[in-house]
Amino acid sequence: MRILSTSQHCLMALAVGFGLAACDQFSNTPEAARPVTVALPPEQPPPDKVIPPPPPKPPVPSRPVRTPPPSPDELIGLDETAVRSLLGSGGTSTDDGTAHILTYKKKICQIDILFFMDVKSAGLRVLSYEITPHAKTKLCYARLRKPHEAPVHEPPPHDQAAHEASP
């Protein structure tokens, strides 16, 4: 028996390797029959049950906007013509020293509107007013206003404030 050298061993191993590789090319097994290894995506857990969003709520009908009752404060700074356009021509007029007083009366109340000379405009302007009785100031003023100027609104029960405008 003959002993092969190391280089001969390497050549022999290469020859066997090439031979096996060549055999694979001439195999009778069709391409489709060969086992194919395919990497599958990792298995994912089933999704949680999806709950659809609730249907939108129907719009809430808007409540009509209530206009607040007119305030006698709107008189401050007006001349007599403007006051009469708001309250009508039914007021009685008196003079008391430097003040001109216009008085309007209803069954439930009375308003005294005090005019004084305004230096800037050189005319009489409302400086203050007084409504009696003081308990129903806004209601009284609303009823004194011309009906076509402002609808009458009943004030809330807590409206007990008496008011007298000051300069």
Write out pLDDT tens, residues 78-124. Answer: 999 999 988 988 889 999 999 999 999 888 889 999 999 988 888 99
Domain-embedded: residue 86:
yes
Domain-embedded: residue 18:
no
Domain-embedded: residue 111:
yes
Domain-embedded: residue 80:
yes
Domain that holds residue 110: 72-144
108 phi and psi angles, rounded to 5 deg:
-90, -15
Domain-embedded: residue 98:
yes
Domain-embedded: residue 92:
yes
- The number of distinct structural domains making up the chain is 1
Domain-embedded: residue 13:
no
Structure tokens at 67: 């206009």
Structure tokens at 36: 């194919």
β partners of residue 101? 94, 114
Q: Is the pTM of this model over 0.75?
A: no
135 vs 81: which has the higher pLDDT = 81
What kind and span of H or E run contains 117?
strand 110-118
Domain-embedded: residue 140:
yes
Distance CA 76, CA 166 (A): 10
Mean pLDDT of 125-149: 80
